[in-house]
Structure 1
Amino acid sequence: MRYIVIGAGAVGGTIGARLHQGGHEVLLIARGAHYEALRRDGLRLVTPDSDETLDIPAADGPVPTRDDDVLILATKSQDTVAALAPWPSGLPVVCAQNGVDNERMVLRRFERVYGMCVWLPAQHMEPGLVEAYGHPNSGMLHVGRYPQGVDELTTQIVTDLGKRDLVAHAAPDVMRWKYGKLLGNLGNAVEALLGHVPGLENVLRRAREEAMTVLRAAGIDYSTPEEEAESRGDQVNGRPIEGSKRGGGSSWQSLARGSGSIEADYLNGEIVLLGRLHGVPTPVNEVLRREANRHAREKLPPGSMPMETLLALIDGRSAAGSR
């Protein structure tokens, strides 16, 4: 079986590297300078206790496929449709992405779709380089068939992932885990907008409480932080990498790279959508969604919004909604 990793950034690059180190055939799909660096020099994977350059085949677009190929999609959610457009719909697709809408989008074209709930602290800021901060394993991954269930391919993927420095679990309720992860990812926009400043946790708490009200109204179950901690145990802990400064999560990295887009529509925006469908106001997540998109569009750096500005926008939105 060959794993084709579409989007070989922080998450995709780490997963592809670990599969390669586990003895599996891997092809990394990347673009621009990152692809050129992978093709020329290989993928450099740096962890708290290792620094390796791996000779993994790479391409900058679709290649002739085989019946035993598995697509691992690790792009941002806003790129899902375009990233999969050139690939044959008969292949299985594993959505190794934040948010809960990718699997549904992919199922429109692909019959075999799998969700992957990813806990994997990593950073990709330079072409050819991925820094993975998890220790002693790089990440924890729950995998299941979408919308639910576990099949033979799920079991094989989980076995393959677990061969080298990844913790993998077969999860028939994988979307329940992904909704739980979504609650944590609401803080991505907070971190991207504010940086690491005092009071950040208060904004995140308000966003999560609002989201939990929405999920209850929608009748959607989700995993808890306690379940995540129990499943992870001491198998994945964030540790510093000597000589590397870890900036922030995926949305922070999007602003830092000036990519022009951000994933907020599929994180905070998912809560806004569900709130509108079920008649629940979502002023906190609406402001976070809107402002994160504005900062990405205007290519503003991470941490450039003052706390008082964000709070004023949220309070203004809340007051307007209550009238």
Structure 2
Amino acid sequence: MRYIIIGAGAVGGTIGARLAGAGREVVLVARGAQYTALREDGLRFRTPDGEHTHRLPVVDGPAALGALRTDDVLVLTVKTQDSEAALDAWGPAPVAGGGSAAERLPVVCAQNGVESQRIALRRFRRVYGVCVWLPCTFVEPGVVSAAGTPLTGILHMGRYPHGADETARRIAADLEKARFEAPVVPDVARWQYAKLLGNLANAVEAVSGPIADEVARGLYERVRAEGESVLRAAGIPYASQAEQKEARGDKVRLEPLDGAERGGGSSWQSLTRGTGTIEADHLNGEIVLLGRLHGVPTPLNELLQRLANTFARERRAAGSLPVAELIRLADEADKMDEISEAGEADDVVSAAAGA
């Protein structure tokens, strides 16, 4: 199998480097400064074992590869907001012997949130989801780091929307030879929704810095409680925190890396890099969407979605909103929601009385 990593940033670069280090054939897909750096200097991969340089084929799109091979696996690791463009580019790509990538090849969505695999399933026949638990960082163009040891990460995976098959097992076997744990599960979405609840903290971290004390932790717990209420109302199952803790154990310990200090998570990194976009619409925004569909108020997740998007659009510095101010805004959002609900209730009573 040849792995085509669509989005060779932190997650894609780490997965690609580890697969290449295990002897698997890998092609990196990148753009801009990352494309240039990978082409000129290779992928520099920093780990607790030291820095390794992988000189791998690098392309900026499917045309550079010509006809794809029948044993190709497309691994989608771009941020969700970039998924449609990537899938639109790669879906029609021709495959040797006839047909297109969307018709013949598997696409593996190794991303935060749950939306990309829905987008992919509209285009591709064979879609696989991955719950990505992988501490890694985009350091600078051409350089990524992964501080986990003895395993680099844990990647639950399965067929989307449900099930497991031989392709999933073959991919998982390659990942496990590349210093990942990759359990193949028939209910991968259950793990992804559990990860989504944890990722609701990404926006808190992005706008106000690391969740480093009880005050910030308390805010995140309020945000998470909204998310849990929404998933219950929607009837969506998710792995419990205890189940996640048991699955992870001490398999992925974080070690400081010389010259590659780990910053914040993926949303923090988007702000730090000044990309102009952030994945909040598909993290906090997923909870907002489900809340609106099922009649559950989500004022805190709405607030964080709006703030994170504003920070990205205006290219504000990551972590620049004091956490005390964020909590004040959260309290205000909660209060306004209570007033709105009371007003709606009064309207219902008045309408009933008039009838």
Q: Distance in 1 between matches of 2:297 and 2:253?
A: 36
| Residue 297 of structure 1: aligned partner | 313
What is the percent sequence identity of the aligned residues? 58
Query: Equivalent residue of 2:182, what SS?
Result: strand
| 2:175 corresponds to 1:172 | no
| Range moving further from structure 2, 178-187 or 244-253 | 244-253
1:201 alignment partner, one of 217, 220, 226: 217
* CA distance, structure 1, for counterparts of residue 304 and residue 139 of structure 2: 24
Residue of structure 2 equivalent to 1:20 = 20
Cα deviation digits, residues 298-322 of structure 1 (max 9, x gap): 0001111112321222222222221
Amino acid at match of 1:166: F
Q: Which residue of 1 aligns with 2:272?
A: 256
Counterpart contact for 2:161–2:189, Cα < 8 Å: yes
Q: Which residue of 2 aligns with 1:30?
A: 30
Matched, 1:85 2:88: yes
For residues 86 and 329 of structure 2, the distance between their equivalents in structure 1, rounded to whole angstroms, comes to: 34
Q: Secondary structure at the match of 2:333?
A: helix
Higher helix share: 2
Q: Deviation string for 1:246-285 (max 9, x for gaps)?
A: 2100000000000000000000000000100111100111
Structure 1-normalised TM-score? 0.98
Q: Which residue of 2 aligns with 1:95?
A: 109
Which residue matches 1:74? 77
Q: Tell me the distance in 2 between the aligned counterparts of 1:240 and 1:209.
A: 32
Q: Which residue of 1 is the match for residue 353 of structure 2?
A: none
Summarize deviations over 1:76-108 as a string: whole Å, max 9, x none.
Answer: 010000011111312211000000111111100
Distance, in Å, in 1 between the alignment partners of 2:12 and 2:260 is 20
Which residue of structure 1 aligns with residue 51 of structure 2? 51
Q: How many Å separate the matches in 1 of 2:246 and 2:333?
A: 37
1:274 aligns with 2:290: yes
Kindly state the Cα deviation for residue 219 of structure 1 after the two structures are TM-superposed.
Answer: 0.6
Paired with 2:252 and 2:245, the residues of 1 have a C-alpha distance of: 10
Aligned residue number for residue 224 of structure 1: 240
Question: What is the CA–CA distance in structure 2 between the aligned matches of 1:176 and 1:185, rounded to whole Å?
Answer: 14
Equivalenced residue count is 323
Shift of the alpha carbon at 1:294?
0.2
The question of 1:137 aligning with 2:140 is answered: no
In 2, Cα distance between equivalents of 1:201 and 1:320: 22
Q: 1:146: Cα distance to partner?
A: 0.3
Deviations 1:127-151 (A, max 9, x none): 1101001111111101100000000
Distance 1:165 1:308 in 2: 41
Q: Distance in 1 between matches of 2:323 and 2:19?
A: 41
8 A Cα contact 1:125 1:257, kept in partner: no
For the residue of structure 2 that corresponds to 1:5, the secondary structure is strand
Please tell me the root mean square deviation across aligned C-alpha atoms, in Å: 1.0
Q: CA deviation at 1:233?
A: 2.0
- Counterpart residue number, 2:177: 163
- Aligned-pair CA distance for 1:180: 0.4
The one-letter amino acid paired with 2:253 is N
1:153 aligns with 2:178: no
**What is the CA–CA distance in structure 2 between the aligned matches of 1:246 and 1:108, rounded to whole Å?**
36
Match of 1:295, SS state, is: helix
Runs of 4+ in 1 over 6 A off after TM superposition: none
Q: Distance in 2 between matches of 1:128 and 1:152?
A: 34
- What secondary structure is seen at the aligned counterpart in 1 of 2:183? strand
